[in-house]
Amino acid sequence: MVMGDLVREVDVVVVGGGPGGYSAAFRCAELGLETVVVDADKRLGGVCLHEGCIPSKALLHVAAVIGEAERAKEFGVEFGAPRVALDPLRTWKTDRVIGKLARGLSSVAKAKGVDVVGGRGVFEDSRSVRVEGDEPQKLRFAHAIIAVGSAPAHLPGLAAESDRVMDSTGALEVRDVPARLLVIGGGYIGLELGQVYAALGSAVTVVEMTAGLLPGVDRDLVQPLARRCEKLFAAIHLGTKVGALRMLRASVEADLGGHGTHEFDRVLVAVGRRPRSEGLGLSATRVTVDARGVIVVNEQCRTDDPHIYAVGDVTGEPMLAHRAMRQGKVTAEAIAGRPVAYDNVVVPAVVFTDPEVAWCGLTEGEAARRGQSVKAAKFAWAASGRAATLGRADGLTRLLVDPESGRVLGAGIVGPGAGELIAEAALAVESALTVEDLAVTIHTHPTLSETLMEAAESLLH
């Protein structure tokens, strides 16, 4: 008898151990369902914890400390030039941050009785998954949850055959600090990692195909970030396509469209992420996958196959861990027979650059596309006491409000801490609060959170 012939019957199989997968699995277990997570690396946390959100934030914190130390000159405090030792930096990131969190997730899984199986999950039909790899076996399920996430997209013709060309995963390893780094893509990944490497000492060149950094984000929010990037980066080329990359012995030569040909020590390709819906054996099921590789789901995150659900990046944009986690919990409860739906109004988004950019709900661009009339309330941080004490008056807090009901429909914030501040705005939009609700709530003084209250007040008569 071969191991692969063993059939194990379970209530729920979760394919993929990232934030969507482990959130779903934990909730399933809480609801009394026997749950198994199949993960290729036999780990929980997925890209988010191991090669995405968490390591990039750890490195951005390092960059922020370097930036703050630099700024301290303004207050008459000088630290001198930073000396960065990469080994302790990597150890801190990998062991103290990622390792600690991963161990935490493992112990939660153990406590909840969620079994994690190492291997690639491949569907054999609508009721069973074959595990290929370290722990081969066959799982027969009542329900399956696909939570395989996404992978960095690659540019055709720019294949990463050289280790000088990295994707975000490679860049987060910080094998070295290249003297000259080319970042292809001016989206959030490119800018976050570009700022990390710039802080560590690289001369960073960012090339973005569209006319502005952070495509899709309202321009008033991008502007303070763009100004900061102009100072940090060696060059920013907008509306530019990289023509070709030529591998030299110790460097890469890149044709930067109309901006000439330049040599770089490393290239980071950060042109978005693609759902990982291939190789899952979905053709053996009734799951529908669209042309972009996105798995089609309904309000309960159920696919067209009644036994199979999907959550997270594999179900399309916005590809954000916190969306996946919410979907995972909804799915678990739907499987348990509870009347739930993924009906969230907002998925807040944060770019963890310096300054941070965050938004939730309706954007000005979306309102304009829909022809929806909204009132905008802007509060410039130049008038914030807290921003002044931080030496950061370049921020902006902006609310978009329904002119009739006064309900907050969307919010955008740029400035240090925007990622934390957006939470209050997200609660306001999700709960259909009005500007009056925000304006009459006492906010601690002096804090940046007052900027939300001030913006709301500006719309009261």
Side-chain half-sphere CA neighbours of 448 within 13 A: 29
Residues with Cβ within 8 Å of 1's Cβ and at least 6 positions away in sequence, in order, are none
Beta carbon nearer to other proteins, 407 or 443: 407
Strand partners, 268: 166, 183
Per-position x/- string for 267-286, each x denoting binding to other proteins as judged by CB under 8 A, each - no binding: -------------------x
Question: Judged by CB under 8 A, does residue 405 bind other proteins?
Answer: yes
Active site residue 50: no
Phi, psi (degrees; rounded to nearest 5) at 264: -135, 155
**Number of residues assigned to the chain:** 461
Choices 175-183, 196-204, 224-232, 290-298; region in contact with other proteins by CB under 8 A: 290-298
Closer CB to other proteins, residue 237 or residue 302? Answer: 302
CB 88, min distance to other proteins, A: 41
Do residues 18 and 48 touch, judged by C-beta distance below 8 A?
A: yes
Pick from 50, 164, 276, 307: which binds other proteins (CB under 8 A)? 307
Is 297 near other proteins (CB under 8 A)? yes
- Contacting other proteins within 419-448 (CB under 8 A): 430-434, 436-437
Residue 341 binding other proteins, by CB under 8 A? yes
By CB under 8 A, is residue 371 in contact with other proteins?
Answer: no
Query: Rule CB under 8 A: which of 10-29 touch other proteins?
Result: 11
Q: Which of 107, 162, 261, 288 binds other proteins (CB under 8 A)?
A: 288
Contacts 24+ apart (CB under 8 A), 361-364: 361/400, 361/408, 361/409, 361/410, 361/411, 361/425, 361/426, 361/429, 362/400, 362/409, 362/410, 362/429, 363/217, 363/218, 363/400, 363/410, 363/412, 364/218, 364/220, 364/400, 364/412
Considering the complex, state which of residue 91 and residue 344 has its C-beta at the smaller distance from other proteins: 344
Backbone angles phi, psi at 208, to 5 degrees: -125, 135
CA dihedral of 12, 306, 16, 2, whole degrees rounded to 10: 60
Selected range binding other proteins among 18-26, 201-209, 214-222, 333-341, rule: CB under 8 A: 333-341
Rounded least distance, CB 307 to other proteins, Å: 6
Considering the complex, state which of residue 236 and residue 334 has its C-beta at the smaller distance from other proteins: 334
Q: Measure CA of the first residue to CA of the last residue in the chain; give whole Å.
A: 78
Q: Verify binding: residue 34, other proteins, rule CB under 8 A.
A: no
Q: Is 292 in the site for other proteins (CB under 8 A)?
A: no
Sequence-ordered list of residues with C-beta below 8 angstroms from that of 440, at least 6 positions apart, any chain: none
**Where along the sequence are the contacts to other proteins (CB under 8 A)?**
11, 33, 142-143, 286, 288, 296-307, 315-317, 334-345, 402, 405-407, 430-434, 436-437
Report, as residue numbers or ranges, the catalytic residues: 445
